[in-house]
Chain A
């Protein structure tokens, strides 16, 4: 079996969910990283299906689009729930978190709102909805006591928001507990600590790191 190759930039960005899924489930992959805006990327860009990354090359198949990659890995590695209802719930959860991410992205790159607004209003409003949705199923993860692909986007997003404000999760105890638990996952802990020590950027610009 070939080792899948993940192509992305040196930053966390949209690929981090995929990396965390691989790491946590002990799945070997090649973590190929390009400098954002570098010459090498300019060449690689031309070969990408939508001119974008992340891209996952798995044998002959080339997969672009973060959501498509995550859902593919979810199905392939048993991280997609155990029924049609689960699969739909996880999909809905993933898409809901992705919407929050898009608000965050507009703040980071387009200054769509002030830091005060996103930290005190926009993100808490979204987190309140996610907290409610998270509590629908019992257990440590979105569904039960087994991780699914949507847990990795949720964790990464919570971690990114925690960078903006170390108290942002205080009002959302279920999400906070989940975030703390994920930090202690045996296959993630060392990676997360190194990532933090190295100060790996979340975005293509330093904004968002604190």
Chain B
């Protein structure tokens, strides 16, 4: 089934989806919408938003729904109901963190960045690290031996926080190790090298 992922020419909410597809070697058209095109595309989108994944003639919006759909199709959704629920919960926890990050980036970057790094982030990361240790003490992936869709989201979330603050993960060594390990996955590594050459912005307003 031909896949087309439409999003802006930034990392944003589409990057975990791109990472998943790249890592699993699923061919897809990485459609990047320019500012001019967006005015025309927006009214056609189900909720007026992207990312949108076109799979054959099925249109899927909402990044969570896209990721979970791909997870079910490509075996990245855990081995049983308990794991599936855990992965979902982990994903939702990451999303809460991303919402706080986005509020700061889009709403209060100049005055709020330092407080976010110093006061908000350490507690959030500590909580995630504790949860990450549930399976195999966090030595592999979110749900143990096998990767899941939440791992791509976790990797991207940690990665953008390292851009925000290079020492962001110093207090959470297990998450830091995960980030290092994940970046070495061959398909991810090749993608990251390619991306570094282009260096697309993380967020829509250019702040990161």
Contacts and interface: CB of A to CB of B under 8 A. Distances in A.
Interface residues of B, number: 25
B155 to A, nearest CB: 20
Interface string B45-79: 01110000000001011101100110011000000
B84 interface: yes
Nearest to B92: A65
A96 B85 contact: no
The DSSP consensus for interface residues of chain B is helix
Contact of A72 (B47, B81, B91): B81
A51 B84 CA distance: 21
Contact of A75 (B48, B61, B73, B84): B84
Given A72-B81, A92-B46, A129-B48, A65 B93 contact: yes
A200 interface: no
Contacts of A64: 89, 92-93
Interface stretch (A25-33, A80-88, A201-209): A80-88
Contact of B127 (A51, A61, A75): A51
A94 B69 CA distance: 14
A50 B130 CA distance: 10
Nearest to A65: B92
Contacts of B72: 84, 87
Contacts, number: 73
A67 interface: yes
Interface string A88-102: 100110111001000
Nearest to A64: B89
Nearest to A96: B47
B82 interface: yes
A181 interface: no
B73 A84 contact: yes
B131 interface: yes
A88 B65 contact: yes
A38 B82 CA distance: 32
A76 interface: yes
Interface in A24-78: 49-51, 61, 63-68, 71-72, 75-76
Given A64-B89, A88-B58, 15 more contacts: A49-B127, A51-B127, A61-B82, A63-B85, A64-B92, A65-B88, A67-B88, A68-B85, A71-B85, A71-B88, A75-B84, A84-B69, A91-B62, A92-B65, A94-B65
